[in-house]
């Protein structure tokens, strides 16, 4: 099992990414040409009110005083660092403390950088098919972003799901095409293990049989070398369902995956022999994301409006123990994707697509979340 990047190194790369995002240019893209040419179009323009290229978000100084801004996109919750978002996809911290964020808008195809009270900038736009649960599903900054300024993304087009590479100038390039797409079951996840190894987790595209088919890339965890043309996927695990989310542990290098399968919602560990089930929720609370921070695995349950916390398995305690449950309905509503900041978690809400969310949570946001601590009572 390859190790994932340490939290500090990953955070440093993200800070460099924010600084160098000013190199992006503007334009549009056409997927009909993407299978035949390396360049399918440049970035979109900065949104109205953006006023220029992205800048490095500054961590707020707790000694600063003065009135907070007001307006419809100011959230009184001090943990909220981005507001008034469209339906969210992937989310990544943009500084070591996680007080600023990169977040994807799944339906619009935008990747946005934001911090509390702004500014909010669009640093890239990818053309996507946002119908169903497809669109800009997830993204990752290159491990060598300081040198190459590349962004990788898992997206939906009109015909398939695919991995693309986004670069400054005239550059949205297809890396891996032909991942099955369905009316549902498109949500997946990507995560770098090294500069030459991108881990990809895919949903079953609404076809449970495809997840067990070795000839299909649906319902799989696999790796590719994103630097190659037409890379050959290496399958690590099969049999995944819908709403698939990878959650690498930045400290141990272990890799976990959450999904909704035939037996219920699950948290599993990716091991050399395949998947090892750690916990199953037979009542199907609606898994939508997961993240590992400080030895705690947090799993978001959008339908149940909660986050469950489980102690990450160790050699001494290979089980995860009873989940600790936090009700987040009134505070955040429906939580989707999450990511580790090292000491905490960033969460992105999906209230625009989940029925039953409280009226006050209709604005989708990104917020900092402290996982519920646990006493290690595993036997």
| pLDDT tens figures, 243-283 | 999 999 999 999 999 999 887 899 999 999 999 999 999 99
Q: What is the pLDDT of residues 350-376, one digit of tens each?
A: 999 998 888 777 789 999 999 977 654
Q: Please report the pLDDT score of residue 39 as a whole number.
A: 36
* CA dist., res. 196 & res. 97, Å (int): 27
Residue tagged 């916390």 (tokens): 309
pLDDT at 374: 60
Low-confidence ranges of the chain (pLDDT < 70): 1-68, 169-170, 374-379
Q: What is the pLDDT of residue 145?
A: 85
- pLDDT at position 67: 63
pTM exceeds 0.85: no
User: Which three-class secondary structure state does DSSP give residue 242?
Assistant: strand
Tokens 């600063």 belong to residue: 64
pLDDT of residue 370: 93
Give residue 257's pLDDT: 98
> Any idea where the domains of the chain sit in the sequence?
7-47+76-369
The CATH number of 7-47+76-369 is which of 2.40.10.10, 3.40.50.170, 2.120.10.30, 3.40.50.2300? 2.120.10.30
The SS3 assignment for 269 reads: strand
Give me the residue label for tokens 């948290």: 267
């Amino acid at each position: 099992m390859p190790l994932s990047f340490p939290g500090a190194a990953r955070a440093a790369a993200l800070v460099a990414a924010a600084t160098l995002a000013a190199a992006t240019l503007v334009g549009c893209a056409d997927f009909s040409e993407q299978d035949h040419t390396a360049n399918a179009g440049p970035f979109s323009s900065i949104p109205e009110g953006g006023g220029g290229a992205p800048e490095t978000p500054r961590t707020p100084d707790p000694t600063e005083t003065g009135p907070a801004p007001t307006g419809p996109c100011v959230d009184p919750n001090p943990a909220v660092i981005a507001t008034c978002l469209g339906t969210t996809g992937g989310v990544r911290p943009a500084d070591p403390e996680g007080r600023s964020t990169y977040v994807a808008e799944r339906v619009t195809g935008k990747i946005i950088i934001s911090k509390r009270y702004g500014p909010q900038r669009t640093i890239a736009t990818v053309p996507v098919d946002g119908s169903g649960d497809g669109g800009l599903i997830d993204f990752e900054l290159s491990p060598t972003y300081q040198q190459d300024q590349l962004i990788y993304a898992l997206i939906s087009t009109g015909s398939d799901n695919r991995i693309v590479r986004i670069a400054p100038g005239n550059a949205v390039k297809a890396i891996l095409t032909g991942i099955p797409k369905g009316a549902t079951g498109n949500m997946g996840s990507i995560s770098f293990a090294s500069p030459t190894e991108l881990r990809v987790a895919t949903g079953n595209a609404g076809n449970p049989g495809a997840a067990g088919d070795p000839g299909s890339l649906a319902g799989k965890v696999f790796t590719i070398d994103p630097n190659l043309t037409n890379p050959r996927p290496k399958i690590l695990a099969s049999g995944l369902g819908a709403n698939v989310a990878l959650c690498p542990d930045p400290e141990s290098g272990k890799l976990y995956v959450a999904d909704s399968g035939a037996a219920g919602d699950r948290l599993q560990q990716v091991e050399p022999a395949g998947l090892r089930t750690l916990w199953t929720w037979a009542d199907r609370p609606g898994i939508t994301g997961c993240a590992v921070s400080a030895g705690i695995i947090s799993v978001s349950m959008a339908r149940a409006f909660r986050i469950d916390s489980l102690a990450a398995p160790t050699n001494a305690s290979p089980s995860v123990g009873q989940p600790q449950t936090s009700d987040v309905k009134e505070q955040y509503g429906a939580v989707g994707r999450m990511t580790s900041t090292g000491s905490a978690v960033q969460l992105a809400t999906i209230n625009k697509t989940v029925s039953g969310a409280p009226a006050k949570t209709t604005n989708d946001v990104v917020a900092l979340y402290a996982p519920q601590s646990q006493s290690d009572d595993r036997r």
